[in-house]
Amino acid sequence: MLLENKIIYWNDLNSIQQKNMLLRPNIQRNHVKQVVKDIISDVRNLRDEALQKYTNKFDNVQLDSFKVSQDRINKSEFLVDEEFKKSVLLSFKNIYKFHSKQNMNMIDINIQTGIRCQQIVLPIESIGLYVPGGVSPLFSTVLMLSIPAVIAGCKNIILCSPPPIVNEILYVAKMCGINNIFEIGGAQSIAALAFGTETIPKVNKIFGPGNVYVTEAKLQLNQLLTDLSIDMTAGPSELVVIADHSANPIFIASDLLSQLEHGYDTQVMLLTCNHMIAEKVLTEMNKQILNLSRKSIILSALENSRFIVTNNLIDCIGISNSYAPEHLSIQTENSRYILSKVLNAGSIFLGHWSPEAVGDYISGPNHVLPTYGSAIVSSGLSVLDFQKRISVQELTSVGLKSVSHAVMCLSMVEKMDAHSNAIIQRMNFIKNRYED
């Protein structure tokens, strides 16, 4: 047995032990802070020269140009499998259909006579998309980042990914209408997008997951620059499964294993009120893991993972809400009822026939999600993240007069007499005009 003695009986634990069971893997960022700080400084001062240095150092590649030629982008269509193209097209259609409904409506309302207020929605003009390389190039992330950016109306979209960029990424980017593609990865690419270099344009917001160096670069640059924003800080991937007696252990085991292969620091959790389900899931995982190519990654990630048996489903829901998972799979008899009790989750997969793997690629909602408990206050990526909202207020003289006394009263209470003066000057002008 590869997995033994993993089942935890929740109600046998004291409150401190229960709290410890919900701890995430510790992300050690201290050792990368100075490294990233130095990279940022180099890129800011030396620009493309620094990018060449770090690309050679970290990727073992010497590039003549960071920008991928349009010819190479166009040729990618003939260098990928036809079955891949058909699958990507289905994914594109579903993701586009879902995200196209996320555009926020303009607001234009007459608050009262003579006071008109609006909210206009504009795209962020220049954005950067980061697509990780690593063990496998994540072409699915190109879809999840590019589609909402295009729907939002962003004019200047820059995509960066570590070299060599595979044809699958180039093809998907082309399908999404992205042609400004640069072969540059790591913290140095984030710095390049933040400052701009001789070849890479500066952007105003950076999107996309990455390793600890990428995440640290996003954090440092977000604090350093006032004209730069980031989408979110991506931590290790997570999946919680809530299951009852009706669940299929084979399905659950496959879902947990599919999430575990994301990386060594991934964390999965089974929450069930049926100890037989927990035992069967572990048995099934032992069978299925033998045939998986990322077995070593999965076994390492299992050290972070939990298989918890509770007295009832209400306890399972409470644990999940406290943990606030990136992904939540509800595999119960009445999954809609459980859904009504969920307070915190990045994305939810409802019922026995909704594997999280489908959400990574094709069902429609975004797979860039809040991790590490931030689902308590944050949402998954959407079109709204690529837009900004601006309020507009327009008053007539009649409208101003109708609220002038209240504004002067409130501003004087706050001891802001210049605010009152701005009203008085206009009221005097109106009075004098009519007296004349």
Annotated ligand binding at 211? The verdict is: yes
Annotated ligand binding at 237? The verdict is: yes
Q: For domain 30-234+383-388, say whether CATH 3.40.228.10 is its number.
A: no
* Percent of residues, the chain, with pLDDT higher than 70: 97
The pLDDT score that the predictor gives to residue 339 is 97
Banded pLDDT at 432 (limits 50, 70, 90)? confident
Architecture of domain 7-24+235-364: 3-Layer(aba) Sandwich (3.40)
pLDDT for 169 beyond 70: yes
Which two structure tokens, joined as six digits, stand for 348?
A: 């939810």
Which two structure tokens, joined as six digits, stand for 28?
A: 């050690």
pLDDT for 133 beyond 90: no
Indicate which residues carry an active-site annotation. Answer: 326-327
Annotated ligand binding at 188? The verdict is: yes
How far is Cα of residue 367 from the mean position of the Cα atoms in its chain? 7
Annotated ligand binding at 360? The verdict is: yes
CA pair distance 137, 172, nearest whole angstrom? 12
- Residue 309, beta-bridge partner list: 9, 272
Banded pLDDT at 31 (limits 50, 70, 90)? confident
Annotated ligand binding at 130? The verdict is: yes
The pLDDT score that the predictor gives to residue 203 is 98
Which two structure tokens, joined as six digits, stand for 66?
A: 């960071």
The pLDDT score that the predictor gives to residue 134 is 65
The lowest-confidence range among 131-135, 193-197, 354-358 is 131-135
Instruction: Tell me how long the chain is.
Output: 436
pLDDT for 1 beyond 60: no
Banded pLDDT at 3 (limits 50, 70, 90)? low
pLDDT digits 0-9 by tens, 80-101: 999 999 999 999 999 999 999 9
Annotated ligand binding at 303? The verdict is: no
